[in-house]
Structure 1
Amino acid sequence: MTTSKALYIIVIIGIIVFFNCLFNNFVYDDIKYIQQNTQIHNWDFNFIIGQSLFNGTGQYRPIPAFYFTALYSIFGEITFFYHIIQLILHIGIAILLFFLLKKFFSSTLSLFLSLVFLVHPIQVESVSYISSVGNLLFFLFGTLALFLSLSNEISRSRLVNICLLLLFSFLTKETGFLFLFIVMCYRIIFKKKNIRFFLLGGLVTVLVYFFIRFVIGEVYFGKFDIIPMHRLTFGERLINIPAIIFYYLKTFIFPLHLAILQNWVVDAIDLSHFYYPLFIDLLFFILVGFLGIYLYKKKREEFKTYLFFLLWLVSGILFHSQILPLDMTVADRWFYFPIVGLLGIGAVGFTSLKNILTKRSNLSRPAVVGGFMVCLFLIASLSLRTIIRNTNWTDQRTLLMHDIAVSDDYSKEDLLAVYFLHDKQYDLAITHMTKSIELNPVSVNINNLGTIYQLKGDYKKAKEIYYEALKLGQNSNSSYIYINLANLYTYHDDPKFAIPILKDKILPIYPNNADFWLMLAIAEYKVHNQVEALEAIRKALTLSSNPNILSIHNLIINKGPANVITQNDPGFTD
């Protein structure tokens, strides 16, 4: 198998398998991070590197912020271009992986492994889901850094390039730190040269990242009380590790039941949720351990390759095993890194078995043909499942309806309710939001239920629900609830109650938000506080030249009728 033929095969199969994802719409977080995120609709360096949707609540990802700002400025909301760039990245990474695997295995085996990586259904969430492009970018930067680290001699300029690529990987996604570990593992296992050189470079890179994040960006760590895994103690999270590892192994071998937003929690030590997954996990690692013992005794050079990929797999799984709580329990896109370690271990085992069989007798032609047909069947089966999974990502409703049937979850029910709300199907929205609250009652979904009733016109019910949400949200940032409550009082109830909420709960947090100053001006004007209304509307005008603000300003100046002021829809947290 020549290299050029292998590359053609990777490109052609990648295009065929993921072609139907190119015409999918924005779904899931694409709506929040791209469509509704005005921060990326214009170039603003402060949002790219400072507090924003991409940088905050525990994550710091300025490179995806830059990426989406650039794409939105060129393509707007034409999803085809987002998808095709993402597909090109994924195919490019599969090609890079092919070259990396060739350092350890034959060209034919490396091609097969690269194709499994390329077409496996667990990768759909990283390729078809636009907002997960950070998965591809961090892996791309990290893999390039690893490639530069393969040389025997490392010059200062090469080390600087390695550190820059690692920094880009860090700034894309926190998982990028795993590549620093992998680069160090490679140097220690295979080269044993320039170790201190790499350690110093890695330390400087980490310090630069911390400086950019904490000093320049002022983005720190956070905790999400609404996420089930974040409410568990360390010991309670450890109980979940067997089921988490089992999920990834099972999905890799039999990728049938795929779904987004999985927030299940193992809260009891029983047979089906703890002991059975633990038994399968132990069986897997015992088999992997026996392979390592055999290689250590018989084939020391192959043992190095085995150890390298074992560390790749284990580090990737541990990072996503809830030792530190993450924003969901499992996610298919989180296996983008660990799958390489699993494929590498499988390749080492296959090579060892093949060598044993070859020593005993030459492989017959029927055996070779049979092996080829098995590989062809595996790639075809995985590809077909991936093509089918791509169709689930067609649009928001299709994705959520399918995935709820696979694994119901409060967050998926919440998103589906918001979808029906935007479609003005209020009864369906109430049904699914109520189900979300039954599954996990938190301030977010209770607040969203209030907005549904407010838009439906049941203001009394909406107000009751907002106050119920405040009871659950009192230990976290409840500003979104106060915003909706102030909106309701301003437009549909007694505006005098909106004034203290705006002054005490909202504007101290958002002092430069023109919309909230506008709301305060309207509330003051409706209760006949002419002077206070003028002060608030003038403040709003200094912050924004929105025509609506100007028209309200003119109305207040001319003492026009307050009842002509139209309703402003409440906000959402999704």
Structure 2
Amino acid sequence: MGITPQFPENRSGSILLPLVLAVVTVLAYLKVFSAGFISWDDTEYVLNNPDIRAINGTNLKLWFSSFYVGNYHPLTMFSYAIDWMIGKEEATVYHTTNLVLHVLNGLLVFSLFRKISDNVLTGFFVALLFALHPVQTESVSWVAERKNLLYGFFYLLAMHSWLRYIGGDEKHALLALLFGLGSMLAKPAALALPFSLLALDIWMKRDLRSIKVWSDKTPFLVMSVVFGIVGLKAQEAGSFLNLHPEHGFLDQLIYGGYAYAAYLLRLVFPYGLSVLYPYPPEAGAMHYAGTLLSLLLVAGGIYAWKKRLYMLAGGFVFYSANIFLVLQFVSFGEVLMADRYLYLPCLGLFFPLVHHLLSWNHSAFKRYTVAGLAVAAGILMLLTFRRNDIWTTEINFWAAISDRYPQSPIARYSLGAAYMKEGRYREASQHIDAALLAEPNNARALYNKGVLLLREKKLRSALETLNRSLAIEDNSKARFTRALIYQQSGDVAAALQDASAVIEQDPANARAHFIKGDCLEQMNNIPGAISSYSAALALDDREPMFYMRRGIAHAKTGSMPASLGDLSKAIEISPGMADAYYWRGMVKARSGQEPCADLAMAARLNFPEADAAPGYVALRLSRWIQDETECRRRETARARQPSPACHPYCGQCIAIRFLPDD
């Protein structure tokens, strides 16, 4: 089937085209190397995720037994752990891994459809459209979408193995099953795999009347059912199901029907793309028209099957199977549509399209077709290159969505949060207020407003706003922020109650353990405080504040070696942490050690108490220094003959000016 390849099936052609594909893909995504993290899930997956800080048995168990941001994907967490081991919080490492996976997926697409069509150009142009289409930028340029790339990698490997299996190599059925398992462990969306294998059967013209064609999918179907149940549990645990109860079942049917056609239109006309497409207030004429178009497309797919138009029929099955789960017939998440959902489904359109364009027998038309496809790929490459601008900064990211959907609460309050992180509170307030104007009872907009008010030190207003948010949705982030407000307001008991509730909801929240420790310390429960600080450190051993506060608590119990160890660790992690130097100096003084270097460093770093520390030390002679007379003698000698080796803030050579008159 297919046309004679323009590039002969020889060694040079087999090397040249994949090389071109890889190079142009990297060029299209050059900007991702300077992109950072986005607060939309990147924080939960990477920056605040203690489970990826090491590759060990404990974390391996956690990956396979935990849900992350409403998903179950242990293999994806393993890939993040590898990146953390390489580059810690360096975003470029994660973006590089994403791009490498996308390039590999492009090469797998090239190889797969080259074999299916027996046409190297068909495989090449299908892979070009797949790799360069701007709808893919969300999957490639967003660190949190690693799961899309990783599941796609194993999914395509499974299809390769299945192709070998139906070609007569029986052992590849087991390989396909193993690759399918890997795909489902990377993202539950892979549960569409058995239907994609059916599409492959159609493309290869297997006899669907054969029982074997259906029975050999049984292990894949069983696996899909299991992972489908797990996926629903994960969405439920993450509170991602039915976030829009105002839309009834009929509305969801209309929205799903509309999305089926709208996704295809975005592949054909990549104009007005957005990272997310919010729910409308209600279904309108556009959504009903889209549903009607979808029904016509489904009828066309059935017609193609009846007429034995195998390329079209297989494409219809592949696209439908892979897009069906994200059509919001069962409402999940905050948005109606998202470009990332097209990562693999797009192949259901690209392959039949390219195959039929290159199947024309007229030689002149073939040349024009190849040239036209090359031009189309070039245009898509430029669009992708430009679209990656939005991933360079978080403000660019949310501003692009907000400009596209100015009435979208999620876009506006998220843009406000991005401005807030930059300290641009006026702009933050404008966008968060706009979100609340559009949807006054949006719990997450209220949460962001509460955080902004807290940053502006408007504690009472912040508390009222967070109470409103929590009355709508019991969110651990909002409860944690309220704990901070109670802590700053001096209501230690309320802060402790909220921090404990957060830990119950999210046991891996290191900061909640820290706040609990602070509350217990203020209540003079020092052993309890040390225990909570230790729990925080078990979850995040790179936070210097946790070490410093545990060190201070150890000092209160008289455990000076443990205190000095923690304070020294805090300084090792954060050499500019002035208060850690101050407290280490004070603990050294109490232990009879020389504190002058630490107090001097604290003073140089402008720690407020450091200037007063020498006087405080001298006034507490029995506790902090051994001999007041010796201290005064040294100070007098220094006054008579200054020595550059003696710092004026030396803990034992204290300045007379801080002492009261005798």
* TM-score normalised over the length of structure 1: 0.82
Which of the residues 453, 476, 479 maps onto 2:476? 479
C-alpha contact (below 8 Å) 1:240/1:265 kept by paired residues: no
Change (3 A) 1:73 1:227: farther
Alignment of 1:170-209 (within 5 A): 170-187=184-201, 190=206, 192=210, 194-195=212-213, 198-202=216-220, 205-206=223-224
Please state how far the C-alpha of 1:331 moved relative to its aligned partner: 1.0
Letter in 2 for 1:304: Y
Secondary structure at the aligned position of 1:387 is classed as: helix
Alignment of 1:152-551 (within 5 A): 152=166, 157-187=171-201, 190=206, 192=210, 194-195=212-213, 198-202=216-220, 205-206=223-224, 221-222=236-237, 224=239, 228-229=243-244, 232-265=247-280, 267-268=282-283, 270-271=284-285, 273-282=286-295, 284-285=297-298, 291-292=304-305, 296=307, 300=308, 303-327=309-333, 328-347=335-354, 349-350=356-357, 354=360, 358=361, 363=362, 365=364, 367-408=365-406, 409-440=408-439, 441-473=441-473, 477-502=474-499, 505-509=501-505, 515-516=511-512, 518-520=514-516, 522-523=518-519, 526=522, 529-530=523-524, 533-534=525-526, 536-541=528-533, 543=535, 546-551=546-551
Aligned to 2:79: 67
Letter in 1 for 2:150: L
Letter in 1 for 2:94: Y
Please state how far the C-alpha of 1:135 moved relative to its aligned partner: 1.1
C-alpha contact (below 8 Å) 1:229/1:237 kept by paired residues: no
Letter in 1 for 2:343: Y
Which protein has greater RCO, CA pairs closer than 8 Å, 6+ apart? 1
Please state how far the C-alpha of 1:83 moved relative to its aligned partner: 2.6
Change (3 A) 1:525 1:19: closer
Secondary structure at the aligned position of 1:103 is classed as: helix
Which of the residues 34, 37, 45 maps onto 1:33? 45
Taking the aligned partners of 2:529 and 2:31, their CA distance within structure 1 comes to 50
Please state how far the C-alpha of 1:178 moved relative to its aligned partner: 1.2
C-alpha contact (below 8 Å) 1:102/1:110 kept by paired residues: yes
Aligned to 1:561: none
C-alpha contact (below 8 Å) 2:195/2:317 kept by paired residues: no
Taking the aligned partners of 2:508 and 2:103, their CA distance within structure 1 comes to 44
C-alpha contact (below 8 Å) 1:17/1:386 kept by paired residues: yes
Taking the aligned partners of 2:302 and 2:226, their CA distance within structure 1 comes to 38
Letter in 2 for 1:236: D
Aligned residues: 530
Taking the aligned partners of 2:363 and 2:515, their CA distance within structure 1 comes to 80
C-alpha contact (below 8 Å) 1:56/1:220 kept by paired residues: no
Letter in 2 for 1:103: K
Q: What is the percentage of aligned positions where both structures have the same residue?
A: 19
Deviations 1:520-549 (A, max 9, x none): 4544665xx54xx23531432553564233
Please state how far the C-alpha of 1:243 moved relative to its aligned partner: 2.8
Secondary structure at the aligned position of 1:60 is classed as: coil
Please state how far the C-alpha of 1:207 moved relative to its aligned partner: 7.4
Secondary structure at the aligned position of 2:54 is classed as: coil
Alignment of 1:72-87 (within 5 A): 72-87=84-99
Secondary structure at the aligned position of 1:338 is classed as: coil
Aligned to 1:125: 138
Matched, 1:20 2:40: no
C-alpha contact (below 8 Å) 2:530/2:550 kept by paired residues: no
Please state how far the C-alpha of 1:96 moved relative to its aligned partner: 1.6
Please state how far the C-alpha of 1:336 moved relative to its aligned partner: 1.1
Deviations 1:312-333 (A, max 9, x none): 0111222221122232211111
Change (3 A) 1:418 1:42: farther
Change (3 A) 1:485 1:17: closer
What's the RMSD between the two structures over aligned residues?
Answer: 3.3
Most deviating of 226-235 and 179-188: 226-235
C-alpha contact (below 8 Å) 2:241/2:332 kept by paired residues: no
Taking the aligned partners of 1:449 and 1:506, their CA distance within structure 2 comes to 20
Please state how far the C-alpha of 1:241 moved relative to its aligned partner: 2.0
C-alpha contact (below 8 Å) 1:417/1:428 kept by paired residues: yes
Taking the aligned partners of 1:351 and 1:513, their CA distance within structure 2 comes to 56
In structure 2, stretches of 5+ residues that fail to align are 1-6, 538-545, 559-578, 581-662
Letter in 2 for 1:336: Y
C-alpha contact (below 8 Å) 2:496/2:519 kept by paired residues: yes
* TM-score normalised over the length of structure 2: 0.72
Please state how far the C-alpha of 1:123 moved relative to its aligned partner: 1.2
